[in-house]
Amino acid sequence: MSGKTEGSIFFYPSLRGLVLGFVIASFLISIIAFTANANPLAFNKDSALFPLLPESSPPEAEIIIDGPIGKPSQYGLDQLLRALQMKGASLRKGESLQTAHSANILLVGTLNGSSLIKELKGDGKLELAEVREALAVKRVRKDDKNILIVAGSDDRGLMYALLELAQQVKALEKEEDWFTSVNEVSERPCVPVRGIMVLLHNADCEREWYYSKVYWEDYFGMLAADRWNSINLVFSHQTPYLSPMYAFHVNVEQYPQVKARGLTEEQRKKNLEMLRYISSLAEDRGIDFTLGIWQQIAWESKTQFQKQESMVTGLTRKNMTDYTYLALSKLLKECPGISAIQLRVNHESGLDFEEQTPLFRDAVYRAAQECGRPILIDVRTVGLLRETIEEAVNSGLPARLNLKYWGEHMVFPYHPTRLMWTYSYGDWLKYPHRYSVIYQVWTLGSHRLLLWGNPDFVRRFAPTTKFEDGVGFEICAPLSQKGYMNVPGAWRIFRYKEREYYQWEFERYWSFYRLFGRLTYNPAAGDELWLRELRQRFGKDAAPEVASAYRQASRVLSLIMGSVISNYNMYIWPEKDMGGLLNYYLHLLPYDRCRISSFLEYVNDYVEGNSSAKLTPEEAASRLETVAAECEQAIARAEASLSSADKEFWATKMDFLILTGMARYHAQKMRAAYRLGFYYRLGDLSLLKDAIANAQKGLELWKKLSSVAEEIYYPNLVFGPSSVGHWKDNIVFVENDLSQLQYQEELFRLVQNFDYGFDFGPRAFTNVITAYSPIYTNYYTIEQRFQGVFPHSFYNSQQGYGWVEAEDLRAEQLPRVPGSVWNASNLDNLNFPPQALLGDFVQGNKPAVFRLDLPEGHYQATLLITDRSPAPADHGPMSISVVERFDDRPIIVDKVVRKGEMLVKRFNFNMVGSRFSTFRLKLSASPGADYILNALTITRIEPHIAHLPLRRAIPGKDLHLLATVTLPRKVVEPHKDSLSIAYGTTSTVEPPEKIEQVTLHYSVDKGKSYRSVEMQGDDMIYSAIIPDSEVQQGEIRYYLEATDSIGQSVRLPKTSEAKPYFIIKVNNDRSLPVVIHTPVKECNPGEPLEIRAKVTDNSSIARVLLYYRPTRQTMEYSIVPMHLKGDEYSATIPGEAISAEFDLMYYIEAVDANGNGVFYPNPDFEQPYIVVKVRR
């Protein structure tokens, strides 16, 4: 029995409770009566639970069931009667309008089954669509009667109408009259198929509910009320658990050796009985039952990821086709409620490509053909061969392709603009096709545990499920991956049982079910269908605030995943994961890469002065913080309005605090990432310090949200292949982010900014961990800002550096970092990446010479030598010298470097004249000894300025400018002539000892005059302010200048550049361009298509671009500029780009002169592309 009060819309009493409830209720509330001669097609025997109303007692209304109704409608009617009983209503069964005694009539029937309803519709008194599942509740006057019509176009539609009325009755105040107070409604389904997926993973966790008929009565009751019309019960999702499922349900006489391990005959019969019951009950509740058979045989590691320990004995590749045919034939006969079969067909099904078509054709399709009823064949497309689906179509069975909506996560409410084709619709939308299409929303990777509820998301999502003739969607149920891999032990999701406010864990996710079910049925339905439940649960005053908190909290994961994702697969868990190690995270791409900038894309565009309409990482971070703040404020307002403590509110609040904590954490991490990217690109230490501050704040936030999660959730959660443990387990990864940034600061203080940097070590890895990992996972052993030099990096003149002698040079390859560590998904194989510069080295015994071509100048070289490998050792005696024209100049002589010791050697040298442009470094060791080298930097002996230019400013506000200015350290040499080591050329120039001055020069009159401000230095970081009085509408030009103690001066930008100054645009313009466009609906194949749009802006338009491609994810977008013609921008899509095989899609990007950009259509509000149907 649910822990909620019986007034809750989601209270579905069991039959055993109803009997007791009736005995009590009959003495306390008004009773409902029916005449003894009830139509057996209209009322089942259970209706006798309601006592007869004496003929002398006047009822509030009479109920007339006009025509036969089926089991779904009967269920809906029973729920309405129970709601009326709880309300205290009195009702009598009537025969017809003519014989009714009451002035109020409740008329129930279907359009096809009721002549009276058909007549009322024909007279224009009833609006009821003649499509499947339509419904209407309408008041009319006829024959001096007040008639409340509850009608459906079919049995399922009538059930929905009756359940809607039941919900409204439950929500009424005590004093309200139900007959006059319930709302009229006329609805028809927007999305034909509205499916939920339930995946089985764990025997111990499932035992308490799978075998409970009460559970399934409650679950299907909720689904029916929320207007879901399809359920997919999935067996064997990438684990050997219940794989294949046949042997756990039926015996095949011809193959007695095929048995489920450890399964008794009694248990097998129980399994079959439950499957028969579940599928039959689904049918009775108006829900189509799909049997998801995702694996046919255990993995043998031939083409699969690994070998599985099969739970079934006696099944071989030799007998599996015939066995599958016989077993499935028997299963379909035993379970007549099965109306569809869903198949996974790729290597994860256990099949190799050559086995795919024969097995499904000769076993599955054949069994379905022969079962005596139409069985829908639903085929998932990953790894699908064309001939496999063609065989399904040729079998005469209804066939459907099942396409992933957005990878294996729920991200935004539209099909991704661009995504790896196997994780979207690929090229399966090619015309003509003889199968239907449905979209599968995998929340297996993202929304597994935490609450979700955003009606705006679902309203946008609903029409996209009909993209390119789609028939609907199915989505994974919350908790679908609970106990993945059949990990032993039963557990509930809450840490403490006394915190629970429900019997079944699915009841906690009522908002998810309510919104996805009801709003895909009718996206135009108002929020009342949600708010009335919130009022029941939290009270009238708190309900709107809880709804607001739900909305905001449910945006968090979409923003996080859309902005940066490490894996399209379900091997990450965004509800719990911290996003991945920071250097890895920096190199990741957005999930929505056409709409959102990656970190490095943003860094490069900003530095180069480019603008686009893409959401930047800073904008994404700001949105996350705004969402978090609004959610937290709504929670506080809701809590203040509660009159007493409430278990559900507490648990809801905890979930939302976890999500707002995730939002705030990821905002800090995003800032740390892009600031680190700027630092790597520019060398500005101030940016690195800002990134460290972000990481420190992020660590605080993660610890805080971890403590919240620890208070509510079971400590050892299992929700996927790599998704185990708890939020607190990830603290070690968050700490690693901070330590990596601190290491970068230490490294900067060691080598500062330089002109050439070389990281000596093993060759980069040659293959990425997975297809989803960034190329960085190949090159992480090479320090950022440095060039990798491997033992076989031989000199060539084009690259200008390399070994010219390297007879026995070697470098030990370090162990690879596991993908789970990069993703920071769990603590298995916890092997963090080494410090790239200091964690490896080149090593040799025989002399080796490294050559570098340098222009003229005065330089400082820095050598770094240390062994911080997993097994450090002593090295040497070793020597390092610079090869000169006549001799070698020693730098290090017979030095032994002890394990753990760090040797830093700096020396100055000159390159004089083009004849002497070759720098050669020689490494050698004493006999029997070795040498090592980690790094070499070469730096001009002059000031180095690193600065992130300002691009935009608001008038009337001070501008703070920061820059990092460094100078090579003073080197004390034993001999004066050692200042020069370039083929014997000696310099008498004394190197500078310090930075004398750093100056900001700026102009507010477009360069006619410049003002100079001395910048103040602190720890290599210099700052200056342009006062607010100087920051006025227009532009500011500026450059920086640094002078050292010997008078050398350096400018940034250099005077040799096309624009020897930076430009700050000063204005209040943050308005986006306005695009007015009439979408093209149809076009002809092979004919050019002109796209025209009117684009206006407060300033001026910088560019307008048209993106187009066919509706296939296997192709990139073509991009063409749109040119102004009259008052419109225009571009033409060439005829050869338009084929009858695929429809066409396009979108527009407009950017103004101030860098404000917009996409049309705007992804924040609508599907971000237009689909043009190609006539065929």
**What's the CATH code of the domain at 361?**
3.20.20.80
Return d(Cα 150, Cα 136) in angstroms, integer.
6
Q: How many CB atoms lie under 10 A from the CB of residue 1044?
A: 21
Query: Average pLDDT, stretch 65-79?
Result: 97
Q: CA 249, 255, 257: angle at the middle one, nearest 5?
A: 85
* Confidence bin at 1114 (pLDDT 50/70/90): very high
Is residue 464, in this structure, part of any structural domain at all? yes
The 8-class DSSP code of residue 568 comes to S
Asked which of 998, 1033, 1066 is the last residue of a domain, the reply is: 1066
Identify the weakest region by mean pLDDT among 49-53, 759-763, 1020-1024. Answer: 49-53
Strand partners of residue 397: none
**What's the CATH code of the domain at 107?**
3.30.379.10
Do 29 and 159 fall within a single domain? Answer: yes
Query: Average pLDDT, stretch 641-662?
Result: 96
Which pLDDT score is estimated for 818? 87
Asked which of 522, 537, 568 is the last residue of a domain, the reply is: 522
Do 1015 and 1090 fall within a single domain? Answer: no
**What's the CATH code of the domain at 960?**
2.60.40.650
Length, in residues, of the chain? 1176
Do 568 and 684 fall within a single domain? Answer: yes
Is residue 537, in this structure, part of any structural domain at all? no
* Confidence bin at 931 (pLDDT 50/70/90): very high
Sheet containing strand 959-966, strands side by side: 944-946, 959-966, 1021-1026, 1016-1018
Do 1092 and 1002 fall within a single domain? Answer: no
Query: Average pLDDT, stretch 551-574?
Result: 94
Which pLDDT score is estimated for 430? 96
- For residue 933, the SS3 value is strand
Is residue 1163, in this structure, part of any structural domain at all? yes
Is residue 983, in this structure, part of any structural domain at all? no
Do 699 and 591 fall within a single domain? Answer: yes
**What's the CATH code of the domain at 1166?**
2.60.40.10
- Widest CA span in the chain: 127
Identify the weakest region by mean pLDDT among 6-10, 588-592, 881-885, 1126-1130. Answer: 6-10
Do 486 and 501 fall within a single domain? Answer: yes
Do 956 and 908 fall within a single domain? Answer: no
Query: Average pLDDT, stretch 362-387?
Result: 97
Query: Average pLDDT, stretch 1074-1082?
Result: 98
Do 685 and 601 fall within a single domain? Answer: yes
Return d(Cα 848, Cα 790) in angstroms, integer.
12
Q: CA 816, 820, 825: angle at the middle one, nearest 5?
A: 155
Element counts in the chain: helices (H) and strands (E): 25, 50
Is residue 975, in this structure, part of any structural domain at all? no
Query: Average pLDDT, stretch 781-795?
Result: 96
CA nearest to 33, candidates 104, 76, 94: 94
The count of structural domains within the chain is 6
The 8-class DSSP code of residue 1116 comes to P
Asked if the model's pLDDT at residue 484 lies above 50, the reply is yes
pLDDT one-digit tens code per residue, 612-633 = 999 999 999 999 999 999 999 9
Which pLDDT score is estimated for 1027? 97
**What's the CATH code of the domain at 772?**
2.60.120.430
Range of the domain at 429: 193-522
Identify the weakest region by mean pLDDT among 25-34, 271-280, 473-482, 681-690. Answer: 25-34
Which pLDDT score is estimated for 914? 54
Do 1021 and 1049 fall within a single domain? Answer: yes
Asked which of 1066, 1096, 1130 is the last residue of a domain, the reply is: 1066
Return d(Cα 379, Cα 362) in angstroms, integer.
16
Return d(Cα 658, Cα 701) in angstroms, integer.
10
Which pLDDT score is estimated for 53? 44
Is residue 545, in this structure, part of any structural domain at all? no
* Confidence bin at 22 (pLDDT 50/70/90): very low
Asked if the model's pLDDT at residue 427 lies above 90, the reply is yes
* Confidence bin at 913 (pLDDT 50/70/90): low
* Confidence bin at 828 (pLDDT 50/70/90): confident
Average pLDDT, the chain: 92
Return d(Cα 183, Cα 135) in angstroms, integer.
13
Is residue 724, in this structure, part of any structural domain at all? yes
Do 290 and 141 fall within a single domain? Answer: no
**Cβ contacts of residue 126 below 8 Å, gap of 6+?**
117, 120, 136, 138, 140, 149, 151
Which pLDDT score is estimated for 827? 84
Asked if the model's pLDDT at residue 5 lies above 50, the reply is no
Q: How many CB atoms lie under 10 A from the CB of residue 886?
A: 6
Do 575 and 515 fall within a single domain? Answer: no
Asked whether 1100 and 1155 are in contact (CB, 8 A), the reply is no
Is residue 513, in this structure, part of any structural domain at all? yes
* Confidence bin at 35 (pLDDT 50/70/90): very low
Do 760 and 650 fall within a single domain? Answer: no
Which pLDDT score is estimated for 771? 62
Task: At 1030, list the tokens.
Answer: 């100087």
User: 1049-1052 and 145-152: which strand pairing?
Assistant: unpaired
Asked whether 471 and 193 are in contact (CB, 8 A), the reply is yes
CA nearest to 1073, candidates 1160, 1147, 1146: 1160
Which pLDDT score is estimated for 579? 95
pLDDT one-digit tens code per residue, 145-189 = 999 999 999 999 999 999 999 999 999 998 899 999 999 999 999
**What's the CATH code of the domain at 595?**
1.20.120
